[in-house]
A and B are shown apart, each in its own frame.
Chain A
Amino acid sequence: MLALKNISKSYESNPLLTDISFTVAAGETVCLLGASGSGKSTLLRIIAGLEAPDAGQVCWGGVDLAAVPPHLRDFGLVFQDYALFPHLSVFDNVAFGLRMRSRNRRSLATLENVAYADEKTLVKEMLDIVNLRGFEARRVTDLSGGEQQRVALARALAPHPRLLMFDEPLGALDRTMKDDLLKELRAILHRTNIPAIYVTHDQEEAFAIADRILLLREGVILREGAPAEVWNDPRSAWAARFLGVGNVVEGKVSNVSGVRYQVETNLGVLKMQCKHRHAVGEHVSLLLRASDTGMKLKAAVEDVAFNRDQFRVTLRGGLMIELERAPKIGAEISVLFAMECLGDA
């Protein structure tokens, strides 16, 4: 449905986005995951039509949207700090898009026709969906952060946009609120079947909501795939570190014989096989994940921290693993690690 073709954008001659291409299929939730400054918000604004790309196209159903102004694109956008209209009540905020679009539709026949039930019923329905029944007359400035975000969501949903975009929608909320809203959001997206683009810097959020993840680094898509794929095979040291997959260890290739390599690291010399070709002296990054099979490493426990239902254990040398039971600090334990090469360091 939505297709981005070779989008590039620079700001004051610094490249912000470089050659971004991807598609969003019907009912699919795509998550743009990246650190702040990676250009993800700019990308959303380009899709919304609030900014023009330097190069490339934003297409819907094969039609280039370049000439379509933002108010006729029929997309929904949820902002990080909600951007609710402070002079309007909850009801009027939610009804805003309906009122604007019903006027646009009268003058333009180009958009697919959605039959609008009467405004009151629709707003009520939306507030029901986001669990804000009875909030119609409240002032938006009196609401809590979580409630404001629900109103923002209802406001974006109300006109039944053909695409929903979320710009760090849960960034300002606390953990519990985040988890609750994330669950609701998934349910809503599932039920409405509206394709969505979700932008965040939080990998847990991304893994929880996405059908597909696009990992963005400095304006370039680094990795693309389903959450499980990306997690199992991050393919680069940066991606592994950013996603918090296992331990990334750097080292220098010291010996090569066929596909067998020896790598000098601060954990000692590690032996491994690798699909890449490396020369002696090359710096490489290795990914070590605790596993049932693989290389056995013995090390002293340096630190133990409780983390939800497990213990996060730091071993001498900096390796981290999660264990069901807490070992004693200072005790020597042995752990099995699966090891793979992530290529050049």
Chain B
Amino acid sequence: MKLRLLPAVLFLAIFFFLPLARILVLSVDASVFTAAHLERAFFVFRFTFYQAFLSTLLTFLLGLPSAFLFARFDFPGKSILRAVTAVPFMLPTVVVAAGFNALLGPHGWLTFLFPQSSFQFTGTLTAILLAHVFYNTTIVIRIVGNALTHLDPRLAQAARVLGADRLRVWTHVTLPLLRAPMLAAALLVFLFDFTSFGVILLLGGPQFSTLEVEIYIQSLQLLNLPMAALLSLIQLLCTLVFSILYARVVERAFVPLMPKPSIARRPKNLREKIFVASFIALLASFFVAPLLSLPLRSVTRLEADRGQRGEIPYGITGDYYSELFVNRRNSVFYVPPLDAARNSLTYAAATVALSLLLGFPAASALIHPNRLTRLLDSFLLLPLGASAVTLGLGYIITFNKPLITDHWLLITSPFIIPLAHTIIALPFVIRTLQPALASIPERLRHAAATLGASPVRVWQTVDLPILARAVLSAATFAFTVSLGEFGAATLLSRPDFPTLPVAIARFLSQPGGMNYGQAMAMSTILMCVTLAGILWIERLRLPGAGEF
């Protein structure tokens, strides 16, 4: 066993598998299995499944034609539009929720522009579904679009010459060849919709209880930890099943396709032009509108502040931002937004440090895999499938006992959040570092050495430049993941130490124009920081390195 793997494996054992095991133990408690509990659990499970199914369906409705658009046609601004569709996937859920709120919510642009309309958005299933489509369309575009791009056009031509008309080329050749990628994309989208938390809590509200939301409500509001554990168990089993199914589809069912140069071309006839133009317009407006209405709303006053009387001064304002720096109320649990931001930055920095410290040795141990490390490799990736809320619940159950001294509780210490975030970020960090470490061929070092470089010089000139990019990229990734993470933070953050997303959610739920405005302002800042992080990672990506 390679010792360098040990820290990461130990860390995972204590902060991932132990909490899960505790959930397991708690959930098999006989007292959980009452008729009422089971009925509730089944009800929640059914709704979770239902909304995930609907969301997946709608995501495909938008995603399949979009995948076709990107794979088959060239048009100006194509790479920008593709990037725009991919952005939501990386954004924190609070930002997306705030964006849709700013566009369609009761204090948003739509209500302002059409005050008479009875359109209700927040608190509806529509809101949840829309946000899920917004999040996951890029998965369909990427997986199915990729397969479409690499589909040998000669297969379709062969079918044509053999007597198949255009329709039957689709039904007999193209669709069967796309079946595996479509299934893979569907499973992945479904998995994300199934475990979605922030979007449902913030846009749907507690009446739409999915497993995630119900775990949160049962553990924090009803303090029914055994019930929460039971729900977590169901959640874990479901994600496990979907992950296994996904892995099988990816591994086995993919028909080996010869990579081919792109067959994208400009639209030729009128029908194609109408399709391309209308989908560009649809995608652009669907993906840009929420992201744009958020920053716009954060600098525009549309309604009265709380307690404000008389004429409302509509218009551009910087108040929501300047207000972030002022501590208005001195209530016990009020935390100035600035403090929340400072908390988040501290947690994110700790997450970066911890995940690099654990991830770097692990990644370097995984370069030359043997059977054991290969097993450990997939073991290290397991947290990818677990939901953040379940993780949070596991921590609450596991670490609520005094640990080192009689008084010190890990669960109430500020350390708990970086620990959870490290569990979430670690798989990404290892996956980023490992290929970079592996990409430095021994021959390169030998070449440099025979050219007269000392070992130190070799390290400086060969290893460092390549590694520096990967480390920076991994660090940025861990940073943005921690900064935007909502599920675990909601369960674990102390009221007086909220993170930025938790504070945003709190502001969103409070009445008054000023609170709403501040939520918008903070979301905008979070969005900009995350976008900067995404761009930074994109720029750091080594040419030719895989996506994930």
Do chains A and B stick together as partners?
yes
Assembly CA distance A75 to B86 (angstroms): 44
Assembly CA distance A72 to B163 (angstroms): 6
Residues in B with CB closer than 8 Å to A69 are 160, 165
| Best-buried of B154, B161, B176 by chain A (most CB within 10 Å) | B161
Assembly CA distance A86 to B156 (angstroms): 12
Which residues in A have some Cβ–Cβ distance to B below 8 Å? 45, 48-50, 69-77, 79, 81, 83-87, 96-97, 100-101, 103-104, 141, 155-156, 159
A96 touches B255 (CB 8 A): no
Residues in A with CB closer than 8 Å to B152 are 83
Residues in A with CB closer than 8 Å to B161 are 48-50, 70-71, 73, 75-77
B154 touches A100 (CB 8 A): no
> Known contacts being A83-B154, A86-B255, is A97 close to B162, with CB within 8 Å?
yes
| Best-buried of A77, A87, A101, A156 by chain B (most CB within 10 Å) | A87
A87 touches B163 (CB 8 A): no
Partner of A100, one of B155, B159, B176: B159
Q: How far is the CB of A6 from chain B (nearest CB, A)?
A: 24
Residues in B with CB closer than 8 Å to A74 are 163
Q: Mark B147-186, 1 if CB is under 8 A from A, else 0.
A: 0000010110111111111001000110011010000000
Q: How far is the CB of B444 from chain A (nearest CB, A)?
A: 34
A-B pairs with lowest CB-CB distance, top 5: A100-B163, A97-B162, A101-B163, A83-B154, A70-B160
Residue of B nearest to A48 (CB): B161
> Known contacts being A71-B164, A71-B165, A100-B168, is A87 close to B159, with CB within 8 Å?
no
Q: How far is the CB of B181 from chain A (nearest CB, A)?
A: 12
Residues in A with CB closer than 8 Å to B154 are 79, 81, 83
A85 touches B163 (CB 8 A): no
Residues in B with CB closer than 8 Å to A101 are 162-163
Interface residues on B, range: 20 to 34
Which residues in B have some Cβ–Cβ distance to A below 8 Å? 152, 154-155, 157-165, 168, 172-173, 176-177, 179, 255-258
Residues in B with CB closer than 8 Å to A72 are 163
Q: How far is the CB of B259 from chain A (nearest CB, A)?
A: 13
Assembly CA distance A216 to B176 (angstroms): 39
B160 touches A83 (CB 8 A): no
Beyond the given A96-B159, A103-B168, please list 10 additional residue pairs across the A-B interface where CB-CB is below 8 A.
A69-B160, A74-B163, A79-B154, A85-B159, A85-B173, A85-B177, A87-B179, A87-B255, A103-B163, A159-B162
Residue of B nearest to A167 (CB): B154
- Sampled A-B contacts (20; CB under 8 Å): A48-B160, A49-B160, A50-B157, A69-B160, A71-B161, A71-B163, A71-B165, A72-B163, A73-B161, A83-B158, A84-B158, A85-B177, A96-B164, A97-B163, A100-B163, A101-B163, A103-B163, A141-B255, A159-B162, A159-B163
Partner of B164, one of A84, A87, A100: A100
A87 touches B165 (CB 8 A): no
Residues in A with CB closer than 8 Å to B157 are 45, 48, 50, 70, 77, 79, 83
Assembly CA distance A85 to B152 (angstroms): 10
Assembly CA distance A48 to B157 (angstroms): 9
A100 touches B158 (CB 8 A): no
Residues in B with CB closer than 8 Å to A96 are 159, 162, 164, 172
Assembly CA distance A86 to B257 (angstroms): 8
Assembly CA distance A100 to B172 (angstroms): 10
Assembly CA distance A157 to B116 (angstroms): 69
Q: How far is the CB of B111 from chain A (nearest CB, A)?
A: 51
Assembly CA distance A84 to B173 (angstroms): 10
Partner of B256, one of A75, A79, A141: A141
Q: How far is the CB of B184 from chain A (nearest CB, A)?
A: 15
Assembly CA distance A71 to B160 (angstroms): 5
Q: How far is the CB of B521 from chain A (nearest CB, A)?
A: 52
B160 touches A50 (CB 8 A): yes
Partner of B155, one of A71, A75, A83: A83
Assembly CA distance A256 to B257 (angstroms): 64
Q: How far is the CB of B357 from chain A (nearest CB, A)?
A: 45
Assembly CA distance A45 to B158 (angstroms): 11
| Best-buried of B160, B173, B258 by chain A (most CB within 10 Å) | B160
| Best-buried of B158, B164, B255 by chain A (most CB within 10 Å) | B158
Assembly CA distance A156 to B157 (angstroms): 13
Residues in A with CB closer than 8 Å to B159 are 85, 96, 100
Residues in B with CB closer than 8 Å to A155 are 158, 162
Assembly CA distance A14 to B179 (angstroms): 39
A77 touches B158 (CB 8 A): yes
Residue of A nearest to B164 (CB): A100
Q: How far is the CB of A85 from chain B (nearest CB, A)?
A: 6
Residue of B nearest to A100 (CB): B163
> Known contacts being A83-B154, A83-B157, A86-B257, is A104 close to B163, with CB within 8 Å?
yes
A79 touches B255 (CB 8 A): no
A86 touches B256 (CB 8 A): yes
Residue of A nearest to B169 (CB): A71
Assembly CA distance A149 to B162 (angstroms): 16
